[in-house]
């Protein structure tokens, strides 16, 4: 086969792109992954994995050769109180995870090069990368929020992207151990009183990852100041980290919306992960839906049926849960808008604890129980007007 000619071109070397590529190369396809970064590279992300991740990539935690922190308790600050909640999950460093998945993909790697041009010529895609032209029948966009494939396909975005302020830094093992709230790897979460987002502080031996995310990206800087003040006042931030925390980094991405699935494929071009906008509607977990979508994209390509990809996503049990959660979130938005101008009622300590418990439960990646009953109840809720939405 002539150099530069592939079966599939994947733009983006994160978990979604690498997982999709590995499934395709395992089946004998020739795949190239293109990414503008050299790997390993710093990636802004708390590194949170809920348990379904391992099944989605076809691996077990024991097979992962890098730093892995399993947790069974998370700490939630909410409305002036602190709760210790049972749960289960993992944390990794994206610097390590992404390189491992990329090197395991079996694809040709074209790194440190920007995609200059994407053109469809008949039944082929041609991508110009540096001085090279790559050709393939299938194109997979896995480059995140600003993926060039997503820009070309221009999927509908009913809501604006969420905002994030974040940093992963290395104060040292002793300072982290001295200041962390729980055991190594146990997350400390700051759930904002108005439920507009949350902050976090995750100890990873000699590293910490701290930050916050908000549904309204315009308030994320103020939300970080609130998070930082609480964590610092509690003594949970090493003094050695304070200088670096003056220079937080920002990014954004889109939460799951059912309408995103309609734009998952256009001809032989497919979008996966953050390129499509699949992060959990409440917790914003992104890695598990990314690799889940990658698996379905690979299966659609292997079946020579890219048009089946949106339906495969629609039928997925995990994303069906996301759809239910999205409906609840939309109903809550409508209720809040209807009550606009009135102060939020004080639910009391019992209600607050239930909110904190529910958030920790979702943070564990737990599935919604009795989904048919939930669907029955949701179907009987008043329909929300689409005019309440705002396009980006």
**Mean pLDDT throughout 63-67?**
98
Q: Is the pLDDT of residue 3 over 90?
A: no
Within a domain: residue 308?
yes
Within a domain: residue 342?
no
**pLDDT band at residue 328 using 50, 70 and 90 as cut-offs:** confident
Structure token digits, residue 357: 């418990």
Question: To the nearest whole number, what is the mean pLDDT of the chain?
Answer: 92
Within a domain: residue 349?
no
Question: What pLDDT, on the 0 to 100 scale, is given for residue 336?
Answer: 67
Q: CA dist 330 to 149, 303, 371, Å?
A: 29, 35, 18
Question: What pLDDT, on the 0 to 100 scale, is given for residue 371?
Answer: 82
| Cα–Cα distance for residue pair 12/102, rounded to 1 Å | 10
Question: What pLDDT, on the 0 to 100 scale, is given for residue 117?
Answer: 95
Single out the residue of 334, 80, 115 nearest to residue 192, CA to CA.
80
Q: Is the pLDDT of residue 176 over 90?
A: yes
Within a domain: residue 165?
no
Its pTM stands at 0.92
The CATH code of the domain that includes 314 is: 3.50.50.60
In the chain, % of residues over pLDDT 70: 93
Structure token digits, residue 253: 């991405």
Sign of torsion over alpha carbons 273, 276, 277, 278: negative
| Cα–Cα distance for residue pair 65/43, rounded to 1 Å | 19
| Cα–Cα distance for residue pair 59/66, rounded to 1 Å | 14
Q: Around Cβ 1, how many Cβ atoms within 10 Å?
A: 7
**Mean pLDDT throughout 369-373?**
83
Reported as type and span, the H/E element at residue 46 is none
Question: What pLDDT, on the 0 to 100 scale, is given for residue 70?
Answer: 98
- CB contact at 8 A, 218 and 154: no
- CB contact at 8 A, 269 and 153: yes
**pLDDT for 231-288, tens place per residue?**
999 999 999 999 999 999 999 999 999 999 999 999 999 999 999 999 999 999 999 9
Out of 144-153, 185-194, 216-225, 335-344, which region has the weakest mean confidence (pLDDT)?
Answer: 335-344
**Mean pLDDT throughout 190-212?**
97
**Mean pLDDT throughout 34-51?**
96
Count of structural domains within the chain: 1
In the chain, % of residues over pLDDT 90: 82
**pLDDT band at residue 389 using 50, 70 and 90 as cut-offs:** very low
CA torsion angle for 52, 189, 340, 250 (degrees, to 10)? -80
Question: What pLDDT, on the 0 to 100 scale, is given for residue 331?
Answer: 78
Q: CA dist 375 to 318, 319, 332, 378, Å?
A: 14, 14, 16, 5
**Domain range spanning residue 102?**
5-64+94-157+254-319
Within a domain: residue 188?
no
Within a domain: residue 231?
no
| Cα–Cα distance for residue pair 335/13, rounded to 1 Å | 40
Q: Around Cβ 42, how many Cβ atoms within 10 Å?
A: 12
Question: What pLDDT, on the 0 to 100 scale, is given for residue 384?
Answer: 56
335-339 long-range contacts, Cβ below 8 Å, gap at least 24?
337/388
**pLDDT band at residue 113 using 50, 70 and 90 as cut-offs:** very high
Strand partners, 48: 91
∠ CA 261-35-25, nearest 5°, is 70
Within a domain: residue 301?
yes
Question: What pLDDT, on the 0 to 100 scale, is given for residue 9?
Answer: 99
Q: What is the DSSP letter of 50?
A: -
**Mean pLDDT throughout 196-219?**
97
**Mean pLDDT throughout 10-35?**
99
* 58 CB-near residues (< 8 Å, 6+ apart): none
Within a domain: residue 232?
no
**pLDDT band at residue 323 using 50, 70 and 90 as cut-offs:** very high
Check whether the bond before 40 is cis (ω within 30° of 0).
Answer: yes
């Amino acid at each position: 086969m002539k150099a530069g000619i592939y079966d599939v071109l994947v733009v983006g070397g994160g978990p979604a792109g690498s997982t999709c590529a590995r499934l395709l190369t395992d089946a004998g396809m020739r795949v190239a992954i293109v990414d503008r970064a050299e790997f390993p590279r710093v990636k802004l992300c708390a590194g949170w994995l809920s348990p379904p991740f391992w099944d989605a990539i076809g691996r077990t935690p024991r097979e992962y050769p890098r730093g892995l922190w399993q947790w069974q308790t998370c700490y939630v600050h909410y409305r002036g109180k602190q709760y210790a909640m049972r749960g289960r999950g993992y944390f990794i460093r994206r610097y390590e995870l992404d390189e491992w998945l990329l090197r395991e993909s079996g694809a040709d790697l074209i790194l440190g090069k920007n995609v200059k041009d994407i053109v469809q010529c008949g039944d082929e895609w041609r991508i110009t990368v540096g001085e090279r032209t790559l050709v393939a029948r299938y194109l997979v966009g896995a480059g995140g929020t600003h993926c060039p494939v997503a820009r070309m396909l221009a999927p509908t975005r009913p809501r604006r992207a969420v905002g994030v302020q974040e940093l992963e830094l290395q104060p040292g093992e002793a300072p982290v151990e001295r200041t962390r709230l729980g055991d190594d790897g146990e997350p400390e979460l700051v759930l904002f009183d108005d439920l507009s987002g949350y902050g976090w502080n995750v100890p990873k031996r000699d590293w910490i990852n701290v930050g916050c995310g908000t549904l309204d990206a315009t308030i994320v800087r103020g939300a970080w100041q609130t998070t930082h003040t609480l964590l610092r006042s509690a003594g949970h931030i090493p003094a050695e980290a304070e200088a670096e925390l003056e220079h937080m980094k920002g990014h954004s991405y889109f939460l799951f919306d059912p309408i995103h699935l309609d734009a998952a494929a256009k001809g032989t071009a497919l979008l996966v992960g953050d390129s499509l906008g699949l992060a959990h509607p409440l917790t914003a977990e992104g890695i598990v839906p990314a690799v889940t979508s990658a698996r379905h994209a690979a299966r659609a390509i292997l079946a020579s049926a890219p048009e089946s990809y949106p339906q495969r996503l629609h039928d997925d049990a995990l994303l069906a849960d996301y759809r239910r959660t999205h409906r609840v979130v939309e109903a809550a938005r409508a209720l809040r808008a209807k009550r606009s101008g009135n102060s939020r009622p004080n639910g009391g300590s019992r209600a607050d604890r239930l909110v904190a418990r529910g958030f920790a439960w979702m943070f564990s990646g737990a599935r919604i129980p009795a989904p048919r009953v939930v669907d029955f109840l949701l179907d009987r809720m008043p329909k929300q007007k689409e005019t309440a939405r705002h396009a980006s």
